[in-house]
Amino acid sequence: MQRHELTPAQKWERLTLADNFIFCKVLEDNPEVCRHLIEILLNIKIDRIEKPAAEKSLKTDFISRGIRFDVYVKDGNGRSFDIEIQTTRSTSLAKRARYYQGLMDVDNVQHGSGYDVLNESYVVFLCMGDAFGKGFPVYTFRYRADEDKDFLMDDGTVNVFFNAKKYDTMKSEELRAFFKYLCGKEPSSGFTDRLSALVERVKTNAQWRHRFMTWEQEMAIQSNEKAKEIAKELAKDMAKDIAQDIAKNMAQDMAKDIARNMVKDTAQSIANDIANQKVIETAQKMLKEKIGTPEQISMVTSIPLEKILELKKKL
């Protein structure tokens, strides 16, 4: 059965707080909501915060690769908080947290005179699944000495990864209510009632609706072009020195997966053409260097013997 692709307008109607666009808008426009959420997540008290910056870009210098934080905010004591909503599975979250911490430090030092100005900094990932596969509802990381696990380096950096699906085992009632709502359940607390109302307010804003749909269309175009590049490179790399089992099947299957998710028939056609051509080139190379008999080459490449013999005559 062919999968029905939602239009940008349909996607907009189905958005929840777990969507990056909605999440950023709600927290950016409601500092007190952002402050209270951080207090719930980290079990700390915050007197006041600066206005949250949604999708804030930081670069260490004019030639470096910039990154965007989902929600970046500082409190009255100079502590920095980066809150990231993570809806897809990723194996690089730990390295991302390390990178984000480094950029936050650089951002803070640029406004001070030395390392002594560095205050506490928190990177918080709100993951819809288990980032590390250990079954915990939350993972909190601080630097400790290998020689003494109770001895903290106390550099002020903290990385926290929540597992939203484990909301029913979280420590506080507020945490359980928040992550239950984030998972698509009905609001069950005063705070989640407020979040639900704010989500609906965002979705009734015509300007934000237009911006989201424009962004979706741009992403579709970029994905289309990127898929062509990825499919082509995958096919080339996988088919370079390998015969039928990997070149034809694996490269084709990988390209099919990309094509199915991004550009469907276009990427699949590219991968098929490249993989088939590489198999023929492999057979020609084996004939030229007399690696095996025509029958053996036919068996390895799955090219009919008649075609192998035809290729041999052309050499």
The candidate with the shortest Cα–Cα distance to 239, out of 276, 266, 267, is 276
pTM: 0.66
At 157, phi and psi to the nearest 5?
-95, 135
Model confidence pLDDT, tens digit, residues 126-140: 999 999 999 999 999
Q: What is the mean pLDDT of residues 169-179?
A: 97
Please state, in angstroms and rounded to a whole number, the distance separating the CA atoms of residues 309 and 243.
Answer: 18
Mean confidence (pLDDT) of the chain: 82
Distance CA 305, CA 213 (A): 54
Position 197 scores a pLDDT of 97
Which of 58-62, 150-154, 184-188 comes out lowest in average pLDDT?
58-62
Task: Give the CA distances from residue 283 to residues 248, 289, 303, 308, 313, in Å, rounded to whole numbers and listed in that order.
Answer: 13, 10, 8, 7, 13
Judge whether residue 121 has pLDDT over 90: yes
- pLDDT single digits (tens) 44-73: 999 998 877 766 554 444 334 445 678 999
